[in-house]
Amino acid sequence: MNDVILVVNAGSSSLKFQAHEIQGDKTLALILGGSLTGIGGSRPAFKVTDASGECLVNRQLEPAQAKDLGAAQEIMAGWLQERIPQPPIAVGHRIVHGGPKMSRAVLVTREILDYLDELVPLAPLHQQNNLAPVRVIFEHWPEIRQVACFDTAFHRTQSKVVERFALPQEYYDRGVRRYGFHGLSYQYIASRLREILPEVAAGRVITAHLGSGASACAMVNGVSQETTMGFTALDGLPMGTRPGRLDAGVVLWMLEQGMEHDEIQDLLYNGSGMKGLSGICNDMRTLLASNELSARLAVDYFTYRTAESIAGLCVATQGLDALVFTAGVGENSPEIRAQVCNHLEWMGIRLDPAANAANALTISQPDSRIGVYVVPTNEEQIIAQQTYDTLTGVL
């Protein structure tokens, strides 16, 4: 068997992984991909499929078996060791925050791990989980090389004006800047557009990554100019449980009302967005199917603010050639795409309703001034590629 690269994406309640084989021609081929979901919950599950989508594992787990991320990692490692006896040549990790220093993927050393640890307060719900498997592999398999691939790195091309807040220099120097996130997804979309729609890729493109987390990114020739998330993954578009853009005065008001830090943090990360607005849940499918007025309000807020942000991003690109929808909602919901595009009709967007309903690649009409596309994202593939490129760069 050829050398294998393992990709690990450890979140707060899920652990996703993929194995890619390095082919003779130095391209990567997916062998299998899996996930442990519902970690720490009452119905954890373990699923693996092969490259053709054939099911290899589909198991409900006892809550105790996947009580935390460590337990889930053991299940993943045990299964992988049986399935792929040779150790991976490297493991690529999704790391949400690379801070000001990381503008590309890097081979992880103890020093880098210490630096990434310092960034935990900037992504309180993500960074610690992302780093946990890095530490476990350092401990148990120190000979395996590990590569950190950052959600922030893609945006380090943005201008000084774009990455600043209107705060004194001191805060910028201490790291209070707009970093931006979902960079692995945007990099995948940029490279995929180069393959399938090269003339679109070379132009002014806004990609709307609409999933549980949501953001939009303005790119010119595949280079990030501006994005809606900022210092943390709270800013910008409304999301499943996060509010998106919020007047900082609201947080001051909450403090004045006596709310504690942890209570505010929990509200902003877990209790706001679609869940907070609807009072029902964070799942867009459920909200779209609901007759409740509050569900309608949440959907309307989401599509209005998404469109408004897309229009704002056009300043960074000085016009727009293409709008790309991706991630769970963006790839699968014709209704959300139609509502967002309705708000943008004045810009010259004309959707093709049949193509939109079919989740086709091109969903705009031929006479639409701006092309509209649906491109499924694949963050794990970009992590595998960045890991391979980092390895070959340092060898």
Chain contacts with ligand ADP (rule: CB under 6 A)? 211-213, 240, 283-285, 288, 327-329, 332-333
Q: Which residues pair with 90 in a beta bridge?
A: 5, 145
- Contact, 116 vs 138, CB < 8 A? no
Q: Minimum Å distance from CB 358 to ligand ADP? A: 13
Please report how many Cα atoms fall inside a 13 Å half-sphere around the Cα of residue 136, on the Cβ side: 18
Quick count: other Cβ atoms within 10 Å of Cβ 297?
14
Instruction: Indicate the residue among 30 and 239 with the shorter CB distance to ligand ADP.
Output: 239
* Contacts for 18 with CB less than 8 Å, ≥ 6 apart: 6, 7, 30, 32, 33, 34, 380, 381, 384
Q: Is the dihedral of CA 313, 265, 151, 394 positive or negative?
A: positive
Q: Minimum Å distance from CB 240 to ligand ADP? A: 5
CA–CA separation, 19 vs 59, rounded Å? 19
Instruction: Indicate the residue among 128 and 212 with the shorter CB distance to ligand ADP.
Output: 212
Instruction: Indicate the residue among 126 and 145 with the shorter CB distance to ligand ADP.
Output: 126
CA–CA separation, 241 vs 36, rounded Å? 21
> Which residue minimizes CB distance to ligand ADP?
328
Instruction: Indicate the residue among 225 and 333 with the shorter CB distance to ligand ADP.
Output: 333
CA–CA separation, 153 vs 386, rounded Å? 12
Q: Minimum Å distance from CB 305 to ligand ADP? A: 16
Instruction: Indicate the residue among 10 and 327 with the shorter CB distance to ligand ADP.
Output: 327
Instruction: Indicate the residue among 333 and 387 with the shorter CB distance to ligand ADP.
Output: 333
Residues taking part in catalysis = 151
Q: Minimum Å distance from CB 69 to ligand ADP? A: 16
Q: Minimum Å distance from CB 185 to ligand ADP? A: 9
- Contact, 265 vs 124, CB < 8 A? yes
Q: Which residues pair with 7 in a beta bridge?
A: 18, 92
DSSP-assigned letter for residue 233: T
| Phi-psi map region of 318: left, alpha, beta (phi>0 left; psi -120 to 50 alpha) | left
| Side-by-side strand order, sheet with 45-50 | 55-60, 45-50, 28-37, 14-22, 4-10, 90-95, 145-150, 106-107
Q: Minimum Å distance from CB 141 to ligand ADP? A: 27
Please report how many Cα atoms fall inside a 13 Å half-sphere around the Cα of residue 233, on the Cβ side: 28
